[in-house]
Amino acid sequence: MANLRRLRESNDALDDPEEIRRRVADDGYVFIRGLQDRDKLLSLRHDVMTVMMDGGWLVNGTNVMDGIAELSTRCTEGDGEYTDVYHRVYSLESFHRSGHWPEVMEMMEKVIGGEVLPHPQKIMRLWYPKYTDHTTPIHQDYVHFQGSYDTYTCWAPIGDCPIELGALAIVPGSHKIDAVMDHHFSLGAGALAIHENELEGQWHSADFEVGDSLIFHSLVVHQALPNLTEDRMRISLDNRYQSVDIPISEKMLIPHLSNLSSYDWDRVYADWKTDDLKYYWREYDLEVMARIDRWGAQGFEEALELARVGDAGAQHHLKRMIRRVPESPEAERAREALELKV
Ligand SMILES: O=C(O)CCC(=O)C(=O)O
Ligand SMILES: [Fe+2]
């Protein structure tokens, strides 16, 4: 990306929570080098890559820690094959525990300034190389996670993530608009994108080393950079945090991508060795908000329109949806839109 600037590092302010909050208020983010323990992240990397190897996503016989992708198995969020392996990863106790590591919780307490609720819905991204049509597009997290604006994402790669492997890029200060921007149909995680021409500001990113963490507000505009490597898998955490005192969306109380298959917490917990993180959020008296379907519904209408006029991305998206939920009313509408074209 031309004119990509470097994120400001905020390690100098770690002992000054007020200054951290000032930077978050001004820039919408703080970027902390080495926030998370390298050895714990590398151990998590081993757990995740082992599941991916078993699922056929890595080249047989290679070192799992290298994350060398088996390109013939490429898939992404929204594909049934993705969900199969992803939900095996999702059942790892070590993955969920990483969202509660003390170094992350202490940092989030500084950012939020009170008791912090890690969202039950943890998220990991498993991104193949040479698959850049499916890179996470430009968006604000609020359209996906809803609840309260004052929700923060902590994004961290599970392993080193130089820019070419697909680091996260943000537009500092873009949260100050204090509103959700228009989102349109797109391929890539979330399937909704802000159009670049509606944006002001500069893209910022960094070569991330394992442990480096980017924490940003739910209205900050961001995207993933494409994974331009020949053969490396990019894996990352994007977990969410908020004060226990503000509303949370019901969407964040269920496992990620559980709407795409029958998957629930009992299945997540099936092989866990400890109990302390099971249903941990139930001890709080949380205000739970109903999900808002507006953005997703509008994106779907746009996908139908685009498919009718021959847009390959929209057609791909709809075909995938038909495979996933063939009996749904949406699939019926998708079939109509696709047939109009042929
Ligand atoms: O890692 C990605 O590709 C997407 C991450 C993201 O959008 C987020 O953390 O909110
Ligand atoms: Fe995001």
Identify the CA nearest to 202 among candidates 186, 188, 222, 182.
222
Quick: pLDDT tens for 224-274: 999 999 999 999 999 999 999 999 999 999 999 987 667 999 999 999 999
CA angle in degrees (0–180, nearest 5) for 187-118-52? 50
Probe residue for ligand 1, chosen from 104, 136, 144, 187 as the CB with the greatest number of ligand atoms within 8 Å: 136
The confidence score (pLDDT) of residue 78 equals 87
CA distance 318 to 266: 31
Angle of CA points 255, 256, 258, to nearest 5°: 70
What is the sign, positive or negative, of the torsion defined by CA atoms of 150, 239, 118, 147?
positive
pLDDT of residue 340: 61
Q: Which atom of ligand 1 is nearest to the CA of 127?
A: 3
Distance, in Å, from the CA atom of 219 to the CA atom of 152, rounded to the nearest integer, reads 9
Question: What pLDDT, in 10s, does the model give residues 121-174?
Answer: 999 999 999 999 999 999 999 999 999 999 999 999 999 999 999 999 999 999
Best mutation site among 104, 131, 168 for ligand 1, i.e. most ligand atoms within 8 A of its Cβ?
Answer: 168
pLDDT for position 107: 98
Element (H, E) at 98: helix 93-98
pLDDT for 4 equals: 96
Per-residue pLDDT reduced to its tens digit, 41-80: 999 999 999 999 999 999 999 999 999 999 999 999 988 8
Going from the Cα of 7 to the center of ligand 2, the distance in angstroms, rounded, reads: 17
Residue 214 · residue 156 · CB < 8 Å: yes
Ligand 1 centroid – CA 136 distance (Å): 7
pTM here is 0.95
pLDDT one-digit tens code per residue, 91-111: 999 999 999 999 999 999 999
Instruction: Give the other-Cβ count within 10 Å of 55's Cβ.
Output: 18
Residue 286: pLDDT band with limits 50, 70, 90: very high
The DSSP bridge pattern shows strands 152-157 and 234-243 to be antiparallel
Query: Ligand 1 centre and the CA of 70: distance in Å?
Result: 22
pLDDT band at 339 (very low <50, low <70, confident <90, very high): confident
Domains and their CATH numbers in the chain: 5-291 (2.60.120.620), 293-342 (no CATH)
pLDDT digit string, tens, across residues 30-52: 999 999 999 999 999 999 999 99
Query: What pLDDT score does 242 carry?
Result: 98
CA angle 39, 93, 275 (to 5 degrees): 125
Q: Which residues does a 6 A CB cutoff place in the pocket of ligand 1?
A: 125, 136, 141, 153, 155, 168, 189, 222, 224, 236, 238
